[in-house]
Amino acid sequence: MNGRGWSSHGLTLVGEDERLWTVEEAARLLGPPVLSTVLLRRLVTELEWEPEGTRRPDRTDARGRQPRVYRAIDFIRVYENLSKAA
């Protein structure tokens, strides 16, 4: 991030890849009751995960910021650790 907020500088645009998930995809796929979008966003920030790139929005109008994608295995590992702790 820069001083003005969210930036995608230096991130490449990636296509559909089952090994890369957005925070919303991870929350939907792994989902409640263990993970929510809010919790995952906080974990990504606190664990300082670096995004692998960005993806075009799924919406038909495709306007707005391109969501960042992260390695799916990282989300799965967090899910497993939190599931065991619960």
Q: What are residue 54's DSSP bridge partners? A: 13, 68
Check whether 86 has a pLDDT greater than 70.
Answer: no
What is the pTM (predicted TM-score) of this model? Answer: 0.77
Q: Where are the domains of the chain?
A: 20-85
Name the more confident of 81 and 62. 81
> pLDDT band at 1, cuts 50/70/90?
very low
User: DSSP letter string over the chain?
Assistant: -BTTB---TTPPB----TTEE-HHHHHHHH-TTT--HHHHHHHHHHTTPPP-EE---SSSS--SPPPEEEEHHHHHHHHHHHHHH-
30-66 confidence digits (pLDDT tens): 977 778 899 999 999 999 999 999 987 766 666 677 8
> What pLDDT is stored for residue 8 in this prediction?
59
